[in-house]
Amino acid sequence: MHRYDNEDRARTYKRILYGMLIFGCMCAACIIFIFVRMEYAADDEASVYSECIEENSKEKYVIPSGEPIGIYIKTDGVFVVNTEIVDDVEGGHTSPCEGKLKQGDYIVSIDGTEVNTRKQVTDLVNKCHGDCITIGYRRDGVVNKVDITPTRVSESSYKLGLWIKDDISGIGTMTYIDEDSFAALGHSVSDYDTGLEMNSVSGGVYEATILGIDKSSQDNPGKIRGSIMYSTKLIGIVNKNIYSGVTGKLNKNYVKKHYDEEEKVLLGSSEDVSLGKAYIYSRITGELEKYEINIVRIDYDGDVRNLQLKVTDDRLIELTGGIVQGMSGSPIIQDDKLIGAVTHVIVDDPTMGYGIFIENME
Active-site annotation holder among 76, 167, 272, 313: 313
Active-site annotation holder among 200, 216, 328, 330: 328
CA atoms within 13 A on the CB side of 301: 0
Q: Give the Cα separation of 27 and 24 in Å (integer).
A: 5
Q: Is-catalytic flag, 313?
A: yes
Burial class (CB in 10 A: 0-12, 13-18, 19+), 285: exposed
Mapping DSSP onto H, E and C, the string for 250-297 reads: ECHHHHHHHHCCCCCEEECCHHHCCCEEEEEEECCCCCCEEEEEEEEE
- 184-213: string of b/e by CB count within 10 Å (b at 16+)? bbbbbbbbeebeeebbbeebbbbbbebeeb
Q: Is-catalytic flag, 187?
A: yes
330 closest CA partner among 298, 284, 267: 284
Contact status, residue 73 vs residue 238, Cβ threshold 8 Å: yes
Active-site annotation holder among 65, 105, 166, 187: 187
Q: Is-catalytic flag, 93?
A: no
Alpha-carbon distances of 86 from 98, 134, 158, 284, rounded to whole Å: 11, 20, 10, 44
Kindly list the catalytic residues: 187, 313, 328
